[in-house]
A and B are shown apart, each in its own frame.
Chain A
Amino acid sequence: MKRSGLRRLFRFSSRTREEVRADVHDEFQFHLDMRTAELRRSGLIDAEARAQALREFGNQASGARACVRHDDRIERRRRIAQFAGELRQDATFGLRLIGRSPGFAAVAIVTLAVAIGANTAIFTVVNALLLKPLPVAAPHEVVRVRAGQSQMSWPNYEDIRDRNDVFSGVAAHRRFDAGLATRDMPVRLTGELTSVNYFSILGIPAALGRPFTPDESRRDVLVLADHAWRARFGADPSVIGRVLTLDGRPFEVIGVMPRRFRGVTPPGMLQDFWVPVDVTVPNPVMRDRGDTQFEVFARLKPGIAPVQAAAAMQVMARHLRWEHPELPESFLAMEVFSLEGLGAFRGMTGTLLPVFMFLALMTVVSGFVLLIGCANIAGLLLGRAMARQREIALRLALGAGRGRLVRQLLTESLLLALMGGAAGVLLAIVLAAGVNTLAWWLPVPVEFDLRIDRRVLAYALGLTTLTCLLFGLVPARRAARFDVVSALKEEGGSTTRQRLRQVLVVGQVAVCSLLLVWSGLFLRSLGHISEVNPGFDPVGVLLANVTLGQALDEDRDARGERIVIELQQRVEESPGVQSAGLSTIVPLALMGRTAYDVSTEDDPTRGRRVVANTVTPGWFETLRIPLVAGRDFTWDDREGTPRVLIVNETLARQFWNGDVLGKRLNPGPESWEVVGIVRDSKYWTLGETIAPTVYSPFRQAYAHNMTLHVRTTNVQTTTEVITREMQRLAPDVAVNIEPMTQAVAVAVLPTEIGAVFTAAIGIIAMLLSTLGVYGLVSFSVAQRTREIGVRKALGARTPDVIRLVVGGSAALTAVGLAVGLGVGALGANVLRGFLTGVSPMDPRTLTGVALLVMCAALVASALPARRASRVDPLITLRDV
């Protein structure tokens, strides 16, 4: 009745839907036939017997439907179980194979871990910068509103806020740095001055206390950021209600925002606090339509796209300019754009463009490393596939399906990839944490949100799968495709497979040469940096950043002006000081950037972008920036006397072909006379092209955030004098003193990071490709053992054999080098911006790298060459 043999045969075959239906039909028919026969036996005639059987059976159609439904479910489960079973089989087999060659497995897993780890770490940063949503409610609705490249003045902000019908709310904010009074020296904090509706538009509640509300009546309230609350107040909840003194003014803490809330500032930037804009005090700035110092953002009404909002804003801009003809033409270029992704950085691309270029470069570079790793593993697997030819051929001959075989080989690759991927993610976490450590060196508080989220994990998993396919599919398909008969006859590797491995090795060598060239160029740039003349002399200059109370009312302006003048005069009189001066921008320190459009008298409609710096008399002398023509500012260039400017040579040349004394520029409605020309100097990077620059005198262009530059021979005394004078003049102001050489070192940071990064990756790449060359050569030696034996039997000597082996690898390496250097030449222009004093085609770097790579290839083939030279001709001949 029961046959266990049958059971075995049928266990793993799953049936199609049609087969299931046919089976149910057969089963029913069998029953009916049996019953009919039985009834007939008991005496019924044929037709009656059949009729009764049918009657007893009941509704066949609905019964069959129910049976089929159950059977379909059974079959589906069976198919899944079968697949899982095969997968488990493959995995067990794969694990056994991996366990059998732990060395290979270790190399593969470490290679993958490094490659996937580096890529994932880079992606974590890209994710933090560009992909993570803004930490506000419904972030896609929040947009930046800007007039061209300019920020917005308060009166224009108010008009936009009150007269639009596309936004549900419009807020303004601006940076506000202030000294927080502590028991010792005041501490400088970075904050924002915001319109009172700021928090209600962003829609994020406070973690503690409350944020200010649109109907906030008090102006002396303050909301703390989480990190400032932790760092300055030890996460003490009783901070709510405390009164803090910022720049000498009292503010009551009413709330602490949740962790990672940073308003709408770009990712990575931190704010310490927020205070409401005080619109009640008499302040000319708040009434000046031309004073564009506020950033504006808005929340779109539901269903309104940024494009529609932009159109509406442009119409409004035309109205506003008609009402206020003093608005510049650039005001009409109203823009509304998302604050997510690249939008977060719009308007500050000037300083961040290099960062992005750098990130892009790093992504490409780490992608290369991944490629090299895959090529290596593909090479190793190709070798193993060939070594396993006989096993595979046997399985094929015994009837194993080719698809099944490919799947088995791929499972093995997947196992390796998964282990490598898991290790890679761990590595990425460590590497990404390192990025935040790096940020400590920057002059502004920076913290990236580098948590590994679902997106990063998906990326790592995708990479893992991709690498698995890259390094597994080609060898697996080849292994399964080859000719069974010739493989069983034991005839070594076909030429095509050998050629594929050669291509892989050439690719590896090319990528690693490229990386080494880049790191070489970065290193050489570092060497050259000290030779670059920035146009000023930072050696012997002391910096003291004195951010005075912001220009919130007329009275404070007058007080700030007195403080600055008196501070400079006191410092100048102290011993050891040669000269002193203040400016808003510290060159090459990545601090304080201002730029605006000016037009010339001759061409008043054309706005041209210039760098703008406000300086006091003596600043040029202190930095040893020579005056080419005209005069320096004096303390008599003040409010009430004719407005004057000094320009750099580049501006003089570009605007008027050099002859500029007495010409007039219009930064705003008034025109200012050029009274001096100074030599060009660099402001942002050592590699930059000099921008046209305008200097205004401090007493005609008051600025609150000034930095004192002092050229002194007695650092100790000068430091004491500055501290003492500031204590006396403005005890509530934070002062930060450091040598200018230290501040300027920040400008070298990108090159330093680039050098370290590409050197590290270049060395890893070289190790990987050396391994690749070694794998190829030693495998081909193993393959050609018999050929070498025959050669030796025919009289070839050891040097001939060595030449045969080494020559082959040298030729491959040379081809790889040529390709790598060729690509490097094509990409030279991308790199130019990162380099200082060295051409992207620097011959010394190129030769050095070529030598290094050739040496590595020789080392890689030394061991196999030795093995080849020891082949015993007799044994080989006997082995046939």
Chain B
Amino acid sequence: MSHTTLTLLQGTVDLLILRALQQGPAHGYAVSRWVRERTDGVLSMEDAALYQGLHRLEDKGWIASEWGLSENNRRAKYYELTTRGRRQLRSEVSVWKQYAEAVFKVLETA
């Protein structure tokens, strides 16, 4: 694995959380693991920032939380997307794609 790790912009944290929760309700630890696995550790994010993101998004009304029982029968806080959160995810994904394509095009032609 490459050892360069990229620091994340705040908007990216939000996008990653929303995308992770698209699979279905999950607790914070599961989100953290999902992100690490999907990016092979290239995108490094402190977990504290991840949790701040979770609570911030709940404050914004994009995700909702509830306490439940984890796989190993411990009390854990589960998050899921709200309707607004799903809508937000869709629009952010399309913006990101356009952005990435544009940047990529520029780099290709250079």
- Which residues of A line the B interface, CB within 8 A? 1-3, 6-7, 10, 23-24, 26-28, 30-31, 33-35, 38, 56-60, 62-63, 66-67, 70-71, 73-74
Contact = CB atoms under 8 A, between A and B. Distances in A.
Given A10-B67, A31-B32, A70-B58, A57 B78 contact: no
Residue among A1, A23, A60, A73 with max Cβ neighbours from chain B (10 Å): A1
B37 to A, nearest CB: 11
A25 to B, nearest CB: 11
A57 B45 CA distance: 9
A71 B55 contact: yes
A57 B74 contact: no
Nearest to A61: B48
A31 B32 CA distance: 9
Contacts of B80: 2
Given A23-B77, A30-B76, A71-B55, 5 more contacts: A1-B25, A1-B68, A6-B68, A35-B29, A67-B54
A38 B25 CA distance: 21
User: What's the interface size class on B, roughly?
Assistant: 20 to 34
Contacts of B26: 1
Residue among B26, B70, B77 with max Cβ neighbours from chain A (10 Å): B77
27 contacts: A2-B25, A6-B66, A6-B68, A7-B66, A26-B77, A27-B27, A27-B77, A30-B27, A30-B75, A31-B28, A31-B32, A31-B47, A31-B51, A34-B70, A57-B46, A57-B47, A59-B46, A62-B48, A63-B49, A63-B51, A66-B55, A67-B51, A67-B54, A67-B55, A70-B55, A71-B55, A71-B59
B24 interface: yes
B68 A28 contact: no
Interface string B42-82: 00001111011011101100000011111000111110100
Nearest to A23: B77
Contacts of A34: 29, 70
The interface residues of chain A, by DSSP majority, are classed as: helix
Contacts of A35: 29, 32, 47
A802 B25 CA distance: 73
Contacts of B25: 1-2
A30 B52 CA distance: 15
Nearest to A37: B72
Contacts of B70: 30, 34
A66 B69 CA distance: 25
Nearest to B58: A74
A289 to B, nearest CB: 79
Contacts of B78: 1-2
Contacts of B32: 31, 35
B29 A30 contact: yes
A67 B51 CA distance: 7
B58 to A, nearest CB: 6
A67 B66 CA distance: 15
Residue among A34, A38, A62 with max Cβ neighbours from chain B (10 Å): A34
A28 B51 contact: yes
A10 B66 CA distance: 8
B109 to A, nearest CB: 39
